[in-house]
Amino acid sequence: MTIPVQRPCLGDEELAAVRQVFESRWLGMGAFTQTFEERLKSFLGVRHVVAVNSGTSALHIALRTLDLRAGDEVLVPTLTFVGTTQAVLMAGARPVFCDVEESTFNLDVEDAARRITPRAKVVLPVHYGGTACRMDEIGRLAARENLRVVEDAAHAFGSSYQGRKIGTLSDITCFSFDPIKNITCGEGGAVVTNDPELARRAVSQRMLGISKDAWSRQDASSSWSYDVVGAGYRYHLSNINAAIGTEQLKRFDVFKQRKQEIAQRYDDAFADVEGLTLRRWHPQETCPFFYVVRVLGGHRDDLMVHLKDRGIVTGVHYIPNHLHSAFAEFRVALPVAERLGAEILTLPLFYEMTDHEVAVVISAVREFFGVSRTIVALERRKDASREPDRAPAREGM
């Protein structure tokens, strides 16, 4: 048995929705995309949702809505997926890498404040693992320094900050719906804003700058004619992907509840393990995207091998971006992120993970640190009543 680090939960509902798209014979952006956008709007409580084909595309066009000039600076935490940094570069701006907090791994707002120059135009917080950044402090910093806020909420769909849903907190928020995200479209993303002008610009850029997409033009009341009103990309979300996302959204609450339960079980099981430090997250407000621990004493890679030998797949999220060769030009010393980069390990966490699988992971980790407990047998008995596992597969980063 292999336990993957993450795995999407896909079922008959998604298949039936895709079948409907096939039957409609309209595979590209269309009615299913519109429905997905409407459902996201009411779920998040926002005015505008622009569905796109990935989280990276969402970040790219979100930044492009802000009229950045070449050389403008975007403050970005270094501990993120490279898509964040690449989107900044794609938008023609310069990433200013910032350090992260030791406790949450989110942007260290004080460190970001120290790195502000007259070229700084945007602060781009990433809600690491689904845990909201200090959005009040970020909002105050942005107001004081005249910065726009673009949130990378790729990990944080369905999380909130002080009772307010992520997506409603700043100028513009970007989600990813790639295969392993809190909900998936297969591949997909969304730009979310309450600002009609930013939404209009995002809509125009998502489809090559064309004033009316094919779906609007096929409506009998619309004319066949269109104009190209500016630069744009081919970033729209297809009906196929939107149909999957719409079904996933219906099941979000159960996904969230189970993932919270597993993350809390890990927290309880590892609280007394001396070789580990646990990341702080807010159980009521967070839909945990993944579960990351810090492995102390230089033992991270050994633990990884120990778990692999027992069929448990783990990951490292992430190599701090300023250490990648492509971003060497922007490199500065970021001591907390560099330390975390050598210590972090992502353990398996996904909706369909059984209690038995959770217990196997816990036992294997505790065994590594010499604090093994025989809980596996107990959990196996509890699991007997649960559904058999679906075929394991691991996808995405």
For residues 47 and 38, what is the distance between their CA atoms, to the nearest angstrom?
10
Q: Which is nearer to ligand PLP, 14 or 152 (CB)?
A: 152
Q: Are 332 and 322 in contact (CB under 8 A)?
A: yes
Q: Is 377 in the site for ligand PLP (CB under 6 A)?
A: no
Q: What strands lie across the sheet with 291-295, from one edge to the other?
A: 276-278, 291-295, 344-347
Task: Give start and end residues of each alpha helix (H) in 65-170.
Answer: 82-90, 109-114, 135-145
Q: Minimum CB separation from ligand PLP for residue 397, in Å?
A: 5
Which one of 21-29, 79-87, 214-222, 373-381 is the stretch in contact with ligand PLP (CB under 6 A)? Answer: 79-87
Q: Is 131 in the site for ligand PLP (CB under 6 A)?
A: no
- Chain positions 49 to 78 lying near ligand PLP, rule: CB under 6 A, are 54-56
Confirm whether 308 is a catalytic residue: no
181, 250, 256, 308: which is the annotated catalytic residue?
181
Q: Is 126 in the site for ligand PLP (CB under 6 A)?
A: yes
Q: Is 286 in the site for ligand PLP (CB under 6 A)?
A: no
Q: Which is nearer to ligand PLP, 87 or 359 (CB)?
A: 87
Q: State the number of binding residues for ligand PLP (CB under 6 A).
A: 15
Q: Is 83 in the site for ligand PLP (CB under 6 A)?
A: yes
Residue nearest to ligand PLP (CB): 55
Cβ neighbourhood burial of 353 (10 Å; 0-12, 13-18, 19+): buried
Q: Is 129 in the site for ligand PLP (CB under 6 A)?
A: no
Between helix 55-64 and helix 196-206 the angle, nearest 10°, is 120
Q: In DSSP terms, which residues pair with 330 in a beta bridge? A: none
Among 130, 189, 315, 348, the residue binding ligand PLP under the rule CB under 6 A is 189
Beta strands in the chain (DSSP E): 48-52, 73-77, 94-98, 120-123, 148-152, 160-161, 164-165, 172-176, 189-193, 276-278, 291-295, 344-347
Q: Is 5 in the site for ligand PLP (CB under 6 A)?
A: no
Residue of 338, 304, 299 lying closest to 318 (CA atoms): 338
Q: Is 3 helix (H, G, I), strand (E, B) or coil?
A: strand
Q: Which is nearer to ligand PLP, 231 or 397 (CB)?
A: 397
Among 26, 32, 36, 81, the residue binding ligand PLP under the rule CB under 6 A is 81
**Positions marked catalytic:** 181
Q: List residues binding ligand PLP (CB under 6 A).
A: 54-56, 80-81, 83-84, 126, 152, 154-155, 176, 178, 189, 397
